[in-house]
Amino acid sequence: MKKLVALLLALVLALPAFALAEEEVFRSYASDFSQGTDGWYARSTGEASISVADGALTITGRTATWNSPGRDFPLVAGKKYTVSVEVKHDAAEAFELMISAAHSKNGLESYENIARAKAKPGEWTTISATYTPSNYDNYILYVETVNFGTTDFSMRNFNVELDEIVFDNTLPSLKDLYAPYFDLGAATTKSETLDEKRMDFYASQFNILTPGNELKPDFVLDIAASRKLAKEDPTAVAVKFDNAKPLLDYCQKNGIKVHGHVLVWHSQTPEAFFREGYSSSGTFVSREVMLARLDNYVRLIMEYMEANYPGVIVSWDVVNEAINDSNGALRESNWTKVVGDDFVNRAFEIARKYAPEGTKLYYNDYNTPEQMKLIGISKLLDSLIADGNIDGYGFQAHYGATTPLPSRIRAAMQEISAKGLRLRVSELDVAIDNNSEVQLRTQAYRYVALFQIFMEYAEHIDAVQVWGVTDDLSWKASNYPLLFDAKARPKFAFDSIVELVQPKAE
């Protein structure tokens, strides 16, 4: 009897794993409402109702804009879906309707607006957009009005389709091909790390990854918790790593290095970090308090990473973009206002104090080949070298198809490497005007020219990292700047830098 109970228990425990098998992933839904309401219901406090006729669902009796036809959907976090619906109303004038999502996590419900469109009276209007859900326990999709809160309306042809991408892990591997020269890496975002197949594809190409946003102060500083701590100690800091954990977990599990970006930056840093009581608009704290906050902030980050992800983060951008574009002087910011012009030096001093042994510390900036910018960067680097707390410099390389000139890039690399600093190409992409074949081939030529320069300086370069992997997820998506298109298919640029070190067989 005991053996039978144990067997039944084992079978029950195995059921959830079966239910979450890949073949059970929700992929599509389409309804013409020919079979009734098809699981849709009226979201209201009881006044609204729905009915179906002639392939359309109509909601009546609405008393608020949120009253809407809704339906539960088993969406998968991190997957990209295309959602669309046709809507129609008979009000006197045009107004907006939208597709929205309600979702909950641990019993707490939250909402998102996915897409909207203005619908003219008596005409069917399509609302459509892509939607990538974050990690929640359940999801409801619904159609509501933006205004005209009590207006009846109809909808038809509600469709949800998984925007599937076939990731080819058998392509030539950039990390392997360029292993004799430098690490090959990329930047990712949290939504990408929720898709394991996508991450496995990235891992087939790259051996070092950077969180594009999730280790910036906006994401790491816990202002609400810091505000509570500041009542007892104005220098206290609270941090959180919820957004960074998915990438760190994946990299730890799969033996991939991480470059940390970024500890100190004038942008994407909460204003409250610099103010008394962590208020949004109070008096600035003193220099001493701010340096103590920075010390606590960096210490907590380094201690957390060493305790939970030892050896995963191999390098950090300590300070980002501190030099003014136009004159090479130090950029004015809250850091210069509160700490002073030596804030970069103090940040590196603090980072060196807490960084695990062997962790490389970088200063990171853009437009390095521009003469005035290079003069300012060079002066700053000299002061950091004199302090003995910097290891390298990160070239942000957000370049165009023809600028900057290769000669200027070489000159900048030569000047900085001659100082004895390590280099990294930290944020590489090449913007083009459109995705025509002519432009894509021009882009490929540019990538080859850049990689030829990087290979010339390979003895000084730790890593070359593209700022994203697929065009659609780039911060410059409209300029198609990366090595893979929106479907993760290799572009001419990818093929060309592969052929640069692995020529085609005759």
Closest by CA position to 440, among listed 409, 474, 404, 479: 479
- DSSP class of residue 135 equals S
Contact 348, 384 (CB under 8 A): yes
Distance CA 94, CA 398 (A): 43
The three-state DSSP-derived secondary structure of 23-78 is HHCCCEEEECCCCCCCCCEEECCCCCEEEEECCEEEEECCCCCCCEEEEEECCCCC
Distance CA 445, CA 432 (A): 12
By the 10 Å C-beta count (0-12 exposed, 13-18 middle, 19+ buried), 2 is classed as: exposed
Strands, E assignment, 355-480 = 360-365, 392-400, 422-431, 461-466
Distance CA 48, CA 60 (A): 6
- According to DSSP, the β-strands at 183-188 and 153-162 are unpaired
Which residue in the list 144, 214, 349, 427 is annotated as catalytic? 427
Distance CA 36, CA 54 (A): 10
Tallying the residues shown for the chain, one arrives at 506
Which residue in the list 86, 144, 192, 321 is annotated as catalytic? 321
- Residue found under tokens 């900057």: 404
Let me know if 321 is a catalytic residue. Answer: yes
Contact 478, 489 (CB under 8 A): no
- Residue found under tokens 């200063």: 363
Sign (positive/negative) of CA torsion 189, 194, 195, 199? Answer: positive
Distance CA 25, CA 75 (A): 8
Let me know if 437 is a catalytic residue. Answer: no
Bond from prior residue into 262 cis (ω within 30 degrees of 0) = yes
Distance CA 368, CA 376 (A): 10
DSSP string, 60-129: E---STT-EEEEEE---TT--EEEEEEEE---SS-EEEEEEEEEEETTEEEEEEEEEEEE-TTS-EEEEE
Q: Which residues are catalytic?
A: 321, 427
